[in-house]
Amino acid sequence: MHRILIAEDHTGMRQALRSLFTQYGDWEVCGDVADGKQAVDAAVQLQPDLVLLDYGMPNKNGIEAASEIKQKLPETPIVIFTLNKTRQLDAMAQEVGVRAVVGKEEGFTELLHTVDKEVSN
C-alpha cells in the first residue's frame, strides 16, 4: 500500500482526488490539504510515498511547495496536477525536482498511470 498526500485548493477536486485514490487498490490517502504551506508541513509530518500538488494554490504555489519538500524529503517523488500545464511550468518543475507534471485536461487515468510509474521508479 502506497501513501499519498494530496494538496489541492479546490474542495471539490480535492474530494474527487481523495475518492479516486481511496478506490484505487494500491493507494492510501494519508492527508489532504488546501494550500502550499500546509503541503510542506504535512509532507514533513506524514512522510508520504508521493506528494500530489496543484500548481495554483495559496500560501505557496506548487513549485514553491515542491522546492521546499524536496529540500526536506529529497527522495519523495512529487507530481504536479494542474490546469496550467505549459512548457515553462514543466521546466520550472524539473528544476526543483518534480518528477512529472500532468494536466488536469489529461484526466484521472493519466494521473493514475503517472503516479504509479513514479512510485515504481
Per-residue pLDDT of 46-72, as tens digits, reads 999 999 999 999 999 999 999 999 999
Per-residue pLDDT of 19-56, as tens digits, reads 999 998 789 999 999 999 999 999 999 999 999 999 99
Label each residue of the chain as H, E or C.
Answer: CEEEEEECCCHHHHHHHHHHHHHCCCEEEEEEECCHHHHHHHHHHHCCCEEEECCCCCCCCHHHHHHHHHHHCCCCCEEEEECCCCHHHHHHHHHHCCCEEEEHHHHHHHHHHHHHHHHHC
- Taking the whole predicted model, whether its pTM rises above 0.75 is answered as yes
Domain ranges of the chain: 2-120
Whole-number pLDDT of residue 84:
83
Per-residue pLDDT of 76-120, as tens digits, reads 999 999 998 999 999 999 999 999 999 999 999 999 999 999 988
- The pLDDT mean for the chain works out to 95
Whole-number pLDDT of residue 110:
95
* CATH architecture of the domain formed by 2-120: 3-Layer(aba) Sandwich (3.40)
Query: 33: closest CA among 1, 10, 50?
Result: 10
Whole-number pLDDT of residue 120:
81
Whole-number pLDDT of residue 26:
85
